[in-house]
Amino acid sequence: MISCIILFIHTLELKHLCPSEMKFICLTLLIMCGITDSRSEQYEVVGPVDPVFAVAGEDVILPCSVKPNISVVDMRVEWFRSELKDSQLVHLYENHDDRNTEQIQSYRERTKLNHQELQRGDASLKLSSVQISDEGRYKCFIQSKSWYNDATVDVSVEAVGRPPVITVDGFDDSGGLHLQCESKGWNPEPDLEWLDSEGAILSSETAETHRNTEGFSVKHSITVHHSVGKIHCRVKLRNHKLETLIITSNKRFNPWRTSIILISAVVLLIVIAGMLMAAFIQKNRKHDQLLREKSRIQGECENLQDDIGRIQQGEFIYLLFHYLFKVFAFFCICICNAKPYVNM
């Protein structure tokens, strides 16, 4: 750029040229300087050749840098998901700051750019607490005032699911035992297999696979016809393996026997319930009788108390008249025995 300015100054000193020639030379110099300046800002955005493998729940670094290693502090650095239909922004750095107001909701507070590394041309993105939904294709886009370039980063998320669960679906007419094994939360899709007690692989009769935001769920079924033994359900994904064991029996299923046992149990429960109900009713009847007897006794007691009160009241009147009679008799005797008074 400085050399272009010097050439431009020297051109102005060529006073012997006509104005049209001067304009042509100046225009040519400006174009050459612009091309030279543009080439000086050209760079290549470089990402990993192979996919980046991440483990669900852990942190991962998505590599991205420029060549040559020039500073991208003054540039626009944008990470986005190219395959999503709606919002695509994963992280945006612009005007020397992170600007994530339009960021995908699931990435909030989980992305980070190292601003110090931007000075060395490193725009790698740190993604925390990786989720299964983070799997996919990312674009690292870096733009200066006169140039831009991008790189693609493929992310593969590995998630170990829950231990398999074996359920018994019953027996068939021949005595075969129906088993189902299911495990959820895997990514990518795992392998599920049945094994006998000797470790030999058994063929599944049915196999189902479903995928949602939590990952893959697999469910296989099998019918076991052999005698007592151990049946294993094993789910594998790369170096991860989860297994569940069930012990089977050689006792065959008799539907009539089971029906009789079931009916007998129901009848027994009904009889027991009837006995309990009868005992409850009898107890209530006795309780009612006791309440009625208690009420009758209380009534008789009240009547007896009334009689006692009346008797006590009559005795008081008798005694009153008795003493009054004695007092009256005493006065009568006194009057009859009195002597006349003679004045001497």
Which tens digits make up the pLDDT trace of 239-268? 899 999 988 765 554 555 566 778 888 999
R_g of the chain computed on alpha carbons: 53
Residue 282 lies in a domain: no
Residue 305 lies in a domain: no
pLDDT at 297 over 50: yes
Provide the residue range defining the domain that includes 237.
165-248
Same domain, 171 and 186: yes
DSSP-H helix ranges across 18-129: 19-41, 115-118
CATH number of the domain enclosing 153: 2.60.40.10
State the CB neighbour count (10 A cutoff) for residue 249: 10
Number of domains the chain is built from: 3
Confidence of residue 316 (pLDDT cuts 50, 70, 90): low
Residue 319 lies in a domain: no
Residue 241 lies in a domain: yes
pTM for this predicted structure? 0.57
- Grouping H, G, I as helix, E, B as strand and the rest as coil, residue 141 is strand
Confidence of residue 306 (pLDDT cuts 50, 70, 90): confident
Same domain, 58 and 24: no
- Residues 186-213: what's their mean pLDDT? 92
> For residue 221, what are the β-bridge partners?
180, 206
The mean of the pLDDT values for the chain is 82
Contacts of 97 (CB under 8 A, 6+ apart): none
pLDDT at 291 over 50: yes
Mind listing the pLDDT tens digit for each residue in 202-225?
A: 999 999 999 998 899 999 999 987
End-to-end CA distance of the chain: 182
In the chain, % of residues over pLDDT 90: 51
Mind listing the pLDDT tens digit for each residue in 21-46?
A: 555 555 555 555 554 444 456 899 99
Can you give the pLDDT at residue 280? 87
Same domain, 52 and 35: no
Residue 344 lies in a domain: no
Closest CA to 113 of 135, 93, 134: 93
> For residue 181, what are the β-bridge partners?
166, 220
Can you give the pLDDT at residue 3? 45
* Helices vs strands, H then E, count in the chain: 4, 19
Residue 310 lies in a domain: no
pLDDT at 299 over 90: no
Can you give the pLDDT at residue 264? 87
Closest CA to 134 of 76, 66, 222, 52: 52
Where is the domain boundary, 158, 175, 192?
158
Residue 331 lies in a domain: no
231 and 241 Cβ atoms separated by less than 8 Å: no
- Residues 262-282: what's their mean pLDDT? 90
Query: Between 26 and 320, whose confidence is greater?
Result: 320
Can you give the pLDDT at residue 82? 83
DSSP letter assigned to residue 239: T
Residue 307 lies in a domain: no
